[in-house]
């Protein structure tokens, strides 16, 4: 069983955030925005998620990371389900999340969690200091997914 616990000393979770976003420079731009939660299992932190609020009624999952040995166990899906319920109760109508065009596992994951492709942020990853490659594909564009919270 996992649960979300809001954190205040965000910088101690930087190593976890780096599991999902390889640019410490870009993480620095959002680490102090929105709300950050640690993902706990039996009182141990096994991950982190950070949400920002880009527009009225919209919450954006900016970063979600789970330690490698706990991935693929359903925790990510459970965290998204709990998060959607939490933000729906708070009156949000939509949740969005973005991932790289090269992140094939993430693309499949978000669709399995009920998200739909919404838009593409072209050249989003061109600002990264070092080109990113996953699955033999260069990360250039961000695919934005959305899910209604109704």
Instruction: Tell me the per-residue pLDDT of 51-87, one tens digit each, with 9 for 90 and over.
Output: 999 999 999 999 999 999 999 899 999 999 999 999 9
Q: Where are the beta strands (DSSP E) in 56-114?
A: 58-66, 94-100
**pLDDT, tens digit, for every residue of 23-43?**
898 899 999 999 999 999 988
Q: Are 102 and 134 contacting, i.e. CB atoms less than 8 angstroms apart?
A: yes
- Conformational region of residue 136, where left means phi above 0, alpha means psi within -120 to 50, and beta covers everything else: left
Q: What is the pLDDT of residue 128?
A: 81
State yes or no: pLDDT of 133 exceeds 60: yes
Chain mean pLDDT for the chain? 94
CATH superfamily for 2-148 is: Gcn5-related N-acetyltransferase (GNAT) (3.40.630.30)
**pLDDT, tens digit, for every residue of 89-119?**
999 999 999 999 999 999 999 999 999 999 9
Token pair in block for residue 74: 């359903």
Q: What is the pLDDT of residue 29?
A: 93
Q: Are 147 and 92 contacting, i.e. CB atoms less than 8 angstroms apart?
A: no
């Amino acid at each position: 069983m996992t649960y979300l616990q809001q954190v205040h000393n965000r910088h101690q979770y930087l190593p976890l955030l780096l599991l999902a976003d390889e640019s410490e420079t870009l993480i620095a731009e959002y680490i102090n925005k929105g709300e950050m939660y640690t993902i706990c299992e039996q009182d141990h932190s096994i991950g982190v998620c950070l949400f920002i609020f880009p527009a009225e009624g919209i919450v954006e999952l900016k970063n979600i990371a789970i330690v490698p040995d706990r991935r693929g166990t359903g925790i990510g899906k459970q965290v998204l389900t709990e998060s959607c319920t939490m933000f729906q109760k708070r009156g949000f109508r939509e949740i969005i999340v973005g991932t790289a065009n090269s992140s094939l596992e993430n693309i499949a994951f978000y669709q399995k969690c009920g998200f739909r492709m919404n838009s593409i942020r072209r050249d989003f990853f061109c600002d990264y200091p070092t080109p990113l490659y996953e699955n033999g594909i260069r990360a250039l564009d961000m695919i934005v997914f959305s899910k209604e919270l109704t």
